[in-house]
Amino acid sequence: MVFMGDRSTLLKTGRFARGHVHPAEKLVDEVFAAAAEQYKDTIESAQTSETVENAQPVKNAENAESAATAETAEIIETADGVENAERAETEASADGAETEARHRRAADAGDTASMSVLGALLLRRGDLAGAEPYLRGATADGDRAAANNLGVLLHQRGYPDEAAGWWRTAAVAGSAAAAHALGRHFRERGDEPAAEYWLRQSAEQGHALGAYALADLLEHRSDVGAERWLRAAAEQGHREAAYRLARLLERNATDAAHEVFGRPGLGPRTGAEPVPARRTAEGDGPVAGPDHARGGEAEQWYRQAAARGHRRAALHLGAILEQRGELKEAGRWYLMSAKAGEARAACALGFLLRDAGDRESAAVWWLRAAQDGDGNAANALGALHAARGEQQTAERWYRAAMDAGDVNGAYNLGLLCAAQDRTAQAEQWYRRAAYAGHREAANALAVLLLQAGDPAGAEPWFSKAAEAGSVDAAFNLGILYAGRDEDRTALLWYERAAAAGHTEAALQVGMALLHHGEEQEAERHLRCAAGGGSAEAAFRLAGLLDARQPPPGPPALGEPLPEKTECEEWYERAAEQGHRRAQVRVGMLAASRGDVESAGHWYRAAAESGSRNGAFNLGLLLAREGSEREAALWWTRAAADGHGRAALRLALLAARRGELAEGQRWCARAVELGPAEVAERAARLREALHQELTA
């Protein structure tokens, strides 16, 4: 148990319930501890309790990272509910037994101040029987601190109502610690108006724990005044107040951002990667949105709390720094938090080490976090072993993640079974995760059902996943409806997926719009898809731009080659990704500029990839350069793939060589393949060759 070094209130009384809780954070009640053993530390460093923040699982298959964790944020209030304790401790440490003896002599002689100090010293030591007469004596003489401390003693003995009476006496006399204790007493009994009155009295006197307890009460009511008192306590060095103030500021900034920006073959994609873990709970990262000032202020308070040893503040601070790219400092705070026992920080540190290439050290921290029940880390270990081919070990860790309450464990087990062609088991795990609300598992389950010939069973799972936000599922629904010729419905789902950044969906929308003549909108979607890496989108965008510009004329003698146009740049991007038609087109544009070397490069790349047009054009280029033998080889390949012009070229080549029978054979092939113009020329040539043969 870790305590702050603040000086003020009472004993170890747990935190009170809050009725209204932010979705990412709920508080856990603790009752007043009954045993005196629990109060040994609380006289000087009081209460400790915990709050639990529930984070949504996740990461979907697209980004291969994810997982659900429960964030347990400690609330540490250090207190010295015993007034005069600091003085007693200071004097006792200086002179030891001699100082205590001096106070005892003076107290026995009736000195009120010494009775109060001696009573506080004995109370802190746990000697309740010895402390009580001195505290009662000092209280009878009107000593305010003794009245507060007598309340502490009686509370420890199990007489809360009598304790409240003495706290009231001390609080009326101006004791901020007693007012705080009295406020906590009333709140525990459900008398919130009285609790608020006394806590406000304490807070307004500058008592850090009074301010913190008042903020907690107000936050329970969703009162905006909570921020003011959290800030007051944090400014006095209360680390839990600093942490909760940072959380409040971050949530407010996030909510403001959401108000401005909004919340957000048959080859359906399922995601081939397991979901290892998400490094922090939802909402833990730095805030994106218009209120950067509050987000920055939140970071400052996280830093203050973390510097005082608050492990969850260190975790949140590490997450902010990591997202900002300050990985070294983020790792330092993660390490501090992890060493203090925060499993999620150990998991996040593992990811930093993995990204830096140190998988062995990452595995050590993941193991530590997983053994502490972190499902994220268990998933990460499962993914690590799966990548090494250690399927049984991977399955064990995925099961551990599932046992830790992480639904991604079931999804990853499904992926593992699917990769081993254990379809029945994969369906079982996908179904389990899908019923638990895992959208990518629902999508994967639908794909399995569709592949098994059950489109009726697949459709509702695709719909559930898409409605839950799965972009892949929305795209797959588009495929499903397109297969039924329900083009309008298919386009709606493609548009939905495209709006969420799905590259292939944007391509489908762009092509549909092109088909309907809506070129401007089509261009926008094609640019999105091409920018996302779609070679087909880049090719079609280039074709759209190409159609708008006049054909270039041949370069004049002595003039430099013209610069590449935007459409050629898009053709080249598609060509570099292996798009054969784009490679042919880039070669043609290069040839039109007189760049024979570049044209030959792209024609050859297309031809070697199986493009008959690339092979034909490469043959033309080689023939012009005098390499008719190699040209014939490429024309032969093109003609074998159904290229009529290549067959006609081979016929002409055979005729020039005097191979009339061979020429006739290629003429017949050209007539068969077409197109009409080629078939007509080939027929005339065949007739001429026939006459030559029969002459």
- Confidence (pLDDT) at 147: 94
Whole-angstrom Cα distance, residue 409 to residue 57?
A: 10
- Confidence (pLDDT) at 97: 81
What would the two tokens of residue 530 be?
């091409």
Q: Tell whether omega for the bond before 675 is within 30 degrees of 0, i.e. cis.
A: yes
Question: Average of pLDDT values for 634-663?
Answer: 90
What would the two tokens of residue 146 be?
């003794």
- Confidence (pLDDT) at 79: 41
Q: Percent of the chain at pLDDT above 90?
A: 62
pTM value > 0.75 = no
What would the two tokens of residue 261 be?
């920006």
- Which of the four pLDDT bands, split at 50, 70 and 90, describes residue 78? very low
- Confidence (pLDDT) at 262: 38
Q: Is 501 left (phi over 0), alpha (psi -120 to 50) or beta?
A: left
Comparing 271 with 364, which gets the higher pLDDT?
364
The pair phi, psi for residue 422, each rounded to 5°, is -95, 70
32 DSSP assignment: B
Residue 378 CB coordination number (10 Å): 32
Buried b (16+ CB within 10 A) or exposed e, 656-688: eeeeeebbbbbbebbbebeeeebbebbeebbee
Tens digits of residue pLDDT in 438-447: 999 999 999 9
Whole-angstrom Cα distance, residue 89 to residue 44?
A: 10
Question: Average of pLDDT values for 552-568?
Answer: 64
Tens digits of residue pLDDT in 98-132: 888 998 999 999 999 999 999 999 999 999 999 99
- Confidence (pLDDT) at 182: 96
- Confidence (pLDDT) at 555: 55
* Range scoring the smallest mean pLDDT among 18-22, 135-139, 422-426, 661-665: 18-22
Whole-angstrom Cα distance, residue 675 to residue 639?
A: 13
Count H helices and E strands in the chain, helices first.
35, 3
- Which of the four pLDDT bands, split at 50, 70 and 90, describes residue 292? low
525 pLDDT higher than 50: yes
378 pLDDT higher than 90: yes
Contacts 24+ apart (CB under 8 A), 229-237: 229/203, 232/203, 232/208, 233/208, 233/209, 234/301, 234/304, 234/305, 236/6, 236/206, 236/208, 236/211, 237/4, 237/6, 237/208, 237/308
8 Å CB contact between 595 and 561: yes
Whole-angstrom Cα distance, residue 691 to residue 660?
A: 10
- Confidence (pLDDT) at 43: 31
The DSSP secondary structure of 136-167, one letter per residue, reads HHHHHTT-HHHHHHHHHHHHHHT-HHHHHHHH
Question: Average of pLDDT values for 495-501?
Answer: 92
Give the count of alpha carbons within 13 A of 173, CB side only.
Answer: 17
287 pLDDT higher than 50: no
Whole-angstrom Cα distance, residue 407 to residue 380?
A: 13
Question: Average of pLDDT values for 84-88?
Answer: 53
Question: Average of pLDDT values for 130-147?
Answer: 93
Buried b (16+ CB within 10 A) or exposed e, 609-637: eebbbbbbbbbbbbbeeeebeebbebbbb
| CA distance from start to end of the chain | 111
38 DSSP assignment: G
Question: Average of pLDDT values for 396-407?
Answer: 93
- Confidence (pLDDT) at 559: 55
Location of structure tokens 């106070």? 103
- Confidence (pLDDT) at 85: 52
Tens digits of residue pLDDT in 152-177: 999 999 999 999 999 999 999 999 99
Comparing 43 with 647, which gets the higher pLDDT?
647
273 pLDDT higher than 70: no
8 Å CB contact between 57 and 279: no
Whole-angstrom Cα distance, residue 177 to residue 46?
A: 12
- Confidence (pLDDT) at 691: 81
202 pLDDT higher than 70: yes
Tens digits of residue pLDDT in 664-673: 899 999 999 8
Comparing 44 with 615, which gets the higher pLDDT?
615
Whole-angstrom Cα distance, residue 508 to residue 220?
A: 50
- Confidence (pLDDT) at 657: 84
CA dihedral 661, 664, 669, 672 (to 10 degrees): -150
- Confidence (pLDDT) at 179: 95
* Range scoring the smallest mean pLDDT among 113-122, 283-292, 536-545: 283-292
The pair phi, psi for residue 51, each rounded to 5°, is -125, 150
* Range scoring the smallest mean pLDDT among 271-285, 460-474, 679-693: 271-285
Tens digits of residue pLDDT in 27-62: 222 222 332 333 333 232 222 222 222 222 223 333
340 pLDDT higher than 50: yes
- Which of the four pLDDT bands, split at 50, 70 and 90, describes residue 93? low
* Sheet containing strand 70-76, strands side by side: 26-27, 48-54, 70-76
- Confidence (pLDDT) at 256: 58
Residue among 639, 592, 632, 576 nearest 613 (CA): 639
8 Å CB contact between 226 and 20: no
Q: Percent of the chain at pLDDT above 70?
A: 78
- Confidence (pLDDT) at 77: 35
Mean pLDDT of the chain: 80
- Confidence (pLDDT) at 295: 62
* Range scoring the smallest mean pLDDT among 32-41, 346-355, 517-526: 32-41
Contacts of 257 (CB under 8 A, 6+ apart): 287, 288, 289, 290, 291
- Confidence (pLDDT) at 563: 67
- Report helix, strand or coil for 241: helix
- Confidence (pLDDT) at 341: 94
- Confidence (pLDDT) at 620: 92
- Which of the four pLDDT bands, split at 50, 70 and 90, describes residue 11? very low
Whole-angstrom Cα distance, residue 454 to residue 438?
A: 21
8 Å CB contact between 84 and 149: yes
Please name the residue ranges forming H helices in 340-469: 343-355, 359-371, 375-387, 391-403, 407-419, 423-435, 439-451, 455-467
